[in-house]
Chain A
Amino acid sequence: MKQLPADYYQLLEQLQAVDFVLVELTLYLDTHNKDTEAIKQFNHYAKERKKLRNAIESKYGPLMQFGHSYSGQPWNWDDAPWPWQV
């Protein structure tokens, strides 16, 4: 059975970190909608996440579906492992 390399866990944690900043800023901006600095920071990390997400998906397959990620050939969205299995 195929196991994921250390690189996967590293990349994933980097994305988790950037996405966490985005979650925090989202909730903050929901109550502080005029904080221009926070919005700038949000947009910066939104760009950052795109790079990380592409890096992960090119090596380990799509993170999202319903068309939010491209598919490989054959369809690889439903490839194991799932998040709770890794």
Chain B
Amino acid sequence: MWVYEKKLQYPVRVSTCNPKLAKFLIEQYGGADGELAAALRYLNQRYSIPDKVIGLLTDIGTEEFAHLEMIATMVYKLTKDATPDQMKAAGLGDHYANHDNALFYHNAAGVPWTATYIQAKGDPIADLYEDIAAEEKARATYQWIINMSDDTDLNDGLRFLREREIIHSQRFREAVEILKEERDKKKFF
């Protein structure tokens, strides 16, 4: 089971009321390479992957939920007291009409999250390569959002999240090495 802890993984700060940035950020909330997709992808793959890497998928999948909460916090803070006019000016009029200031799992273009964003091939190598690609795509998405944002506090949190993708990719690469290792040759520690 899972147990919630009443704290963020990282001290998220946002310096300005800027719903426009929320519109971009929502990509990492409900987009194809976002944190929700990441968490669900890894946790779901656990059931058919060799035992040696189930722990890793469990732990990275769990960390992704912490990242999802960080993104939610950023979006929440960027839009919390935004008026309908401010939402409209930020290109969030369509969002406001349907959701008011509520968060929703869709991407920056308003397309709702879909399970087709994630894969489970049942082949350990295919699945881990998908995971590595997902981490690199998430890393790139953070770069493009940082490039569009001039909120230094927000960028600080986004940099943390981007760095985590680098580490996750590293661990998935190591998982591939573990699975392809020849039984009698012992080279890892």
Binding site for B on A (CB under 8 A): 9, 12-13, 15-16, 19-20, 23-24, 26-28, 30-32, 34-35, 62-66, 68, 77, 82-84
A67, closest chain B residue (CB): B3
Q: How far is the CA of A84 from the CA of B168 in the complex (A)?
A: 24
Binding site for A on B (CB under 8 A): 3-12, 53, 55-56, 59-60, 63, 69, 72-73, 76-77, 167-168, 171, 174-175, 178, 188-189
What are 8 residue pairs bridging A and B, where the CB atoms are less than 8 Å apart in the complex? A16-B7, A16-B11, A23-B9, A27-B60, A30-B59, A82-B6, A84-B72, A84-B76
Q: In the complex, how many angstroms separate the beta carbon of A41 from the nearest chain B beta carbon?
A: 15
Which residue from A13, A30, A31, A62 sits with its C-beta under 8 Å from B6?
A62
Q: How far is the CA of A77 from the CA of B63 in the complex (A)?
A: 22
With contacts A30-B171, A31-B56, A84-B69 taken as known, whether A64 is within 8 angstroms of B4 at the C-beta atoms is yes
Q: How far is the CA of A84 from the CA of B79 in the complex (A)?
A: 12
B8, closest chain A residue (CB): A83
Q: How far is the CA of A63 from the CA of B171 in the complex (A)?
A: 29
Which residue from B4, B72, B76, B189 sits with its C-beta under 8 Å from A35?
B189
Q: How many residue pairs, one in A and one in B, have C-beta atoms under 8 Å apart?
A: 67
Q: Which residues of A contact B174 (CB under 8 A)?
A: 31-32
A56, closest chain B residue (CB): B7
Q: Which residues of A contact B168 (CB under 8 A)?
A: 27
Which residue from B3, B7, B11 sits with its C-beta under 8 Å from A68?
B3
Q: Is the CB of B3 within 8 A of A64?
A: yes
Q: In the complex, how many angstroms separate the beta carbon of B42 from the nearest chain A beta carbon?
A: 12
Q: In the complex, how many angstroms separate the beta carbon of B168 from the nearest chain A beta carbon?
A: 8
Which residue from A15, A63, A83 sits with its C-beta under 8 Å from B69?
A83
Q: Is the CB of B56 within 8 A of A20?
A: no
The 4 A-B residue pairs with the shortest CB-CB distance, nearest first, are: A84-B73, A30-B56, A31-B174, A30-B55
Q: Is the CB of B11 within 8 A of A12?
A: yes
Q: How far is the CA of A28 from the CA of B10 in the complex (A)?
A: 19
Q: Is the CB of A31 within 8 A of B178?
A: yes
Q: Is the CB of A83 within 8 A of B59?
A: no
Q: In the complex, how many angstroms separate the beta carbon of A8 from the nearest chain B beta carbon?
A: 11
Q: Which residues of A contact B4 (CB under 8 A)?
A: 64-65
